[in-house]
Structure 1
Amino acid sequence: MDKLLAGNNVAVTEDGYLEDFNQWSKEIASEIAAEYGITLGEDHWKVILYIQEQYEKGVPLSIRSIGKSGVVSIKEFYQLFPDGPLKRASKIAGIPKPVSCI
């Protein structure tokens, strides 16, 4: 299905994840984040870029792997992306829902 984000029609799954990473932009990320009441700051972008890099390498993501990455601690990850940090951060980063997310 299509969703209007940052003035663009983008294809999203039933859960709201982008179907095509190539449609992702910082503006789209900011708009998705705003839906959750999140204003993206420098630390958010560090996490988002890390998640995208891991996705492109085919590395499975988990909350634990984010915490061990050195980018942020698990506590900071939860503070940056409350109520399901990996789901929200992945959605904002424009990647498919991680397998480790229920």
Structure 2
Amino acid sequence: MPTTTIAGTQVEVNEEGFLSNPDDWNETLGTEFARLIGVEMSEEHWRLVKFLREDYKSQGETPTLRRVSTQLGLPVKQLFTMFPGKPAKKMSYVAGVPKPKGCV
């Protein structure tokens, strides 16, 4: 696996830049990942990231946009506003978890 230095921490990443080991993630890395994709983190962003991480740990896979929307009561349209373009991929990247199955 390739390694890279993000926020002064050397981490293993896959070919798309996602963390290879979600346990390596911390809020400093999350903040830097967000900055790298042009997202400014708010309390709502952090609530979403924490949900993604907790759900990933309990379910063994990254939640889909639909699951995030349903579980957090956030309209999918709002997820696209918070993480423009490809919200599922970007949310997962910032949260340090694999992108959801079926995500391009």
After TM superposition, the score normalised by the length of structure 1 is 0.93
Assess if the C-alpha contact under 8 Å between 1:66 and 1:72 holds in 2. yes
After TM superposition, the score normalised by the length of structure 2 is 0.91
The C-alpha deviation readout for 1:8-66, integer Å capped at 9, x for no partner, is: 11000001110011210101011111011111110000110111111001265211111
Corresponding position of 1:84: 86
> 5+ residue gaps in structure 1?
none
Which of 91, 96, 101 is the aligned partner of 1:99? Answer: 101
> 5+ residue gaps in structure 2?
none
Amino acid at match of 2:50: L
Corresponding position of 1:73: 75
SS at match of 2:5: strand
SS at match of 1:69: helix
SS at match of 2:11: strand
Corresponding position of 1:38: 39
Distance in 2 (alpha carbons) for counterparts of 1:47 and 1:95: 13
How far off is 1:72 after superposition? 2.0
Assess if the C-alpha contact under 8 Å between 1:10 and 1:18 holds in 2. yes
What's the Cα RMSD here?
A: 1.2
